[in-house]
Amino acid sequence: MFVGDSMTIGSTGDFTWRYRMWQHLNATFGGPYRIVGPRHALHDPVEGAPTSYDYGDPGFPDEARRHLAGWGEGWLHMAPLIGDAVRRYDADTLLVSLGLIDLGFYTNAEQTAENVREFMAQARAAAPHIRAVLMPVIPNVRAATDTAFGAQCERFNELLAKAVADLSTPGSPLLLASVPGGWEIDRATYDGTHPSECGERLLAGAFADAMHQAWGVGAPYGSPDEAVGGPVGEPVPSP
């Protein structure tokens, strides 16, 4: 299950990093899998709501579009939702990219880190053996120009790393993904925050490499096993 904010849900016309991960899993996973979640739309900037289905690739199948992501939603918003989503959709792995919106509008670094812990507690209450990959906050253009906000992003990432170390267990492992190498705001985003096609691939690669290195899932992102020019299969249908 993909869990995230505006960088994960995407906007009308985007491919999304979820799409890039779907392509990667089809090429390298080596067996059936399901992408699950209660939502499947993109954010429509005209309507200001998650009502768009105009993905960059119209062939992206509905069952692979599933997610729990929302424009303007962060750890604060997802912590109360994750337990029910995990339970209803039988998720066993969470790929989570959250935090920038929290720090920008709702909570400071310490409060946001507490919401990370609450999020994981709720997820584990629903599925005790769930595993998760957590992405640090990727500084955006505001972090580059607002010193105080940039410091909050750095502090939260320190606390996130501590939470992963504290909370990870053999039965319910947590991974801290790496901020994608080569992430340059003017190349990896189209507006200083949201991922361009380059940024989508970088995000998918960071999650894919973390899962491969720690759990042997698939292959390194962009390996020779990766399909060139599109996916080679489809996931099994979601319930």
Domains of the chain with bracketed CATH: 2-215 (3.40.50.1110)
Question: pLDDT (tens digit, 9 = 90+) per residue, 70-96?
Answer: 999 999 999 999 999 999 999 999 999
| The pLDDT of residue 224 | 65
CA dihedral defined by 28, 229, 61, 96, rounded to 10 degrees? 50
Global pTM reads: 0.93
The rounded distance, in Å, linking the Cα atoms of 214 and 175 is 8
Point out the least confidently predicted range of 69-73, 132-136, 150-154, 179-183. Answer: 179-183
pLDDT at 173 exceeding the cut of 50 = yes
Alpha helices in the chain (DSSP H): 6-9, 17-28, 75-89, 100-101, 109-126, 141-145, 147-167, 185-188, 197-215
Residue of higher predicted confidence among 153 and 223: 153
Count CA atoms closer than 13 A to 74's CA, side-chain side: 21
